[in-house]
């Protein structure tokens, strides 16, 4: 009788033990920090769409180096101010017609253009293809933004880590330097650089590089002050690791999310700053094109030929919105608690 009772008890103990082990197993596969962030980013549809839009703009802008519909700087007065004409499209505004003296006329026929002549976005007041100039101008704007962001990364990250790691009087002095730099308006810096250098990419990049890194430095410093008090950093110091090794081994990996997020917001700010300078005439100079110069040229004929301003304005708006949405998505992906804090 005792054996009969013991067998069910043993089976029950084994069954209970097996259920406990199964409940302690990790059901989902282990993910790295980057994989987990990518998983959260993919759930944000707006950020994913913005990412693909930005990739498309980069491909079109830099791909135009190899292929472009027309020479962006080629002048053809015969075809000046032609409206957009898309092959096979009969919709007004896209069929090469415009309104003159209350009547809709074929601008291409009046200019003596052949049946095979098509300008997708029309031409400007010198007969230059707007599509080619927009591709060229977008590339110039993106190059300025990327180079300026490179300075933001190299100067801002290094400055912030050193300031936060050293602390004390060194940190206090370095932060006062940042406050002095922030007190100088960017417009004053660019005007002073134009007096020394010629208006163009170099002066704009230097103006952005002079003050643009301060925000990155402050964010990195704040995170460094928090991270350097962690146990693993204190243990590395106790083991005698150098500050340089600790910075690359412990600080930078934990600062990567802040750096990436801030970079995504730095690029659109640089693009907008370049467009503003070129629009008011102290940025990229003719005959080179940028989104700002295209807006400046287009606003001169906006009342009669609004497409010359609408297309570059739409491109600039899409790029700015896409970068900001993508930056918000990266912030939520790398720091999920930011949503609850916001």
Backbone angles phi, psi at 96, to 5 degrees: 85, 15
* Whole-number pLDDT of residue 100: 78
* Whole-number pLDDT of residue 269: 86
d(CA 33, CA 132): 42
**Are residues 171 and 291 both part of a single domain?**
yes
**Are residues 108 and 245 both part of a single domain?**
no
**Are residues 134 and 171 both part of a single domain?**
yes
* Whole-number pLDDT of residue 265: 83
Single out the residue of 116, 243, 92, 53 nearest to residue 167, CA to CA. Answer: 243
Domain extent at residue 112 = 83-118
Domain termination site, one of 118, 144, 176: 118
For Cα atoms 178, 180, 181, give the angle at the middle one, nearest 5 degrees. 65
Pull the structure tokens for residue 278.
């070129």
**Are residues 111 and 180 both part of a single domain?**
no
With respect to residue 4, please indicate whether it lies within any of the assigned structural domains.
Answer: no
**Are residues 314 and 184 both part of a single domain?**
yes
* Whole-number pLDDT of residue 273: 84
**Are residues 148 and 91 both part of a single domain?**
no
Handedness of CA 209, 210, 212, 214 (dihedral sign): positive
CATH code for position 235: 1.10.3720.10
With respect to residue 27, please indicate whether it lies within any of the assigned structural domains.
Answer: no
| Contact present, 296 and 279 (Cβ < 8 Å) | yes
Query: How many domains in the chain?
Result: 2
| Contact present, 84 and 120 (Cβ < 8 Å) | yes
**Are residues 111 and 136 both part of a single domain?**
no
Single out the residue of 270, 277, 273 nearest to residue 149, CA to CA. Answer: 270
With respect to residue 22, please indicate whether it lies within any of the assigned structural domains.
Answer: no
**Are residues 317 and 206 both part of a single domain?**
yes
**Are residues 153 and 89 both part of a single domain?**
no
d(CA 140, CA 128): 17
With respect to residue 341, please indicate whether it lies within any of the assigned structural domains.
Answer: no
**Are residues 87 and 141 both part of a single domain?**
no
d(CA 86, CA 100): 20
With respect to residue 313, please indicate whether it lies within any of the assigned structural domains.
Answer: yes
Distances (CA, A) of 342 to 40, 328, 335: 17, 11, 11
**Are residues 285 and 139 both part of a single domain?**
yes
With respect to residue 179, please indicate whether it lies within any of the assigned structural domains.
Answer: yes
With respect to residue 12, please indicate whether it lies within any of the assigned structural domains.
Answer: no
* Whole-number pLDDT of residue 49: 94
Task: Report, as ranges of residue numbers, the positions in the chain whose pLDDT lies below 50.
Answer: 1-7, 9, 12, 15, 21, 340-342
Pull the structure tokens for residue 5.
């009772």
* Whole-number pLDDT of residue 14: 52
SS (H, E, C) the chain: CHHHHHHHHHHHHHHHHHHHHHHHCCCCCCCCHHHHHHHHHHHCHHHHHHHHHHHHHHHHHHHCCCCCCCCCCCCCHHHCCCCCECCCCCCCCCECEEEECCEEEEHHHHCCCCCCCCCCCCECCCCCEHHHHHHHHHHHHHHHHHHHHHHHHHHHHHHHHHHHHHCHHHHHHHHHHHHHHHCCCHHHHHHHHHHHCCCCHHHHHHHHHHHCHHHHHHHHHHHHHHHCCCHHHHHHHHCCCCHHHHHHHHHHHHHHHHHHHHHHHHHHHHHHHHHHHHHCCCCCCCCCCCHHHHHHHHHHCCCCCCHHHHHHHHHHHHHHHHHHHHHHHHHHHHCCHHHHHC
**Are residues 330 and 299 both part of a single domain?**
yes
With respect to residue 11, please indicate whether it lies within any of the assigned structural domains.
Answer: no
């Amino acid at each position: 009788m005792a054996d009969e009772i013991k067998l069910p008890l043993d089976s029950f103990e084994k069954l209970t033990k097996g259920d406990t082990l199964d409940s302690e197993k990790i059901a989902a596969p282990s993910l790295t920090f980057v994989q987990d962030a990518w998983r959260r980013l993919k759930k944000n549809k707006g950020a994913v769409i913005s990412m693909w839009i930005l990739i498309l703009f980069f491909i079109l802008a830099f791909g135009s180096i190899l292929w472009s519909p027309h020479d962006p700087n080629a002048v053809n007065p015969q075809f000046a101010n032609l409206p957009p004409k898309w092959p096979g499209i009969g919709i007004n505004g896209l069929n090469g017609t415009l309104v003159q003296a209350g009547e809709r006329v074929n601008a291409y026929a009046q200019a003596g253009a052949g049946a095979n002549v098509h300008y997708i976005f029309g031409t400007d007041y010198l007969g230059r293809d707007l599509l080619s100039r927009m591709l060229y101008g977008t590339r110039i704007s993106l190059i300025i933004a990327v180079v300026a962001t490179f300075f933001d990364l190299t100067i801002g990250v290094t400055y912030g880590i050193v300031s936060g790691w050293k602390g004390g009087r060194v940190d206090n002095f370095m932060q006062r330097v940042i406050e002095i730099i922030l007190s100088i308006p960017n417009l004053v810096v660019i005007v002073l650089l134009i007096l020394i250098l010629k208006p163009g990419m170099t002066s704009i990049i230097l103006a952005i590089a002079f003050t643009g890194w301060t925000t990155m430095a402050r964010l990195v410093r704040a995170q460094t002050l928090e991270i350097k008090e962690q146990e693993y950093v204190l243990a590395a110091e106790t083991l005698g690791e150098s500050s340089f090794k600790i910075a690359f081994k412990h600080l930078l990996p934990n600062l990567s999310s802040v750096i990436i997020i801030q970079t995504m917001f730095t690029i659109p700010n640089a693009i907008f700053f370049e467009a503003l300078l070129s629009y008011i005439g102290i940025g990229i100079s003719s005959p080179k094109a940028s989104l700002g110069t295209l807006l400046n040229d287009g606003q001169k004929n906006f009342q009669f030929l609004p497409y010359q301003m609408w297309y570059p304005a739409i491109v600039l708006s899409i790029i700015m919105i896409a970068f900001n949405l993508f930056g918000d998505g990266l912030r939520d992906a790398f720091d999920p608690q930011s949503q609850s804090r916001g």
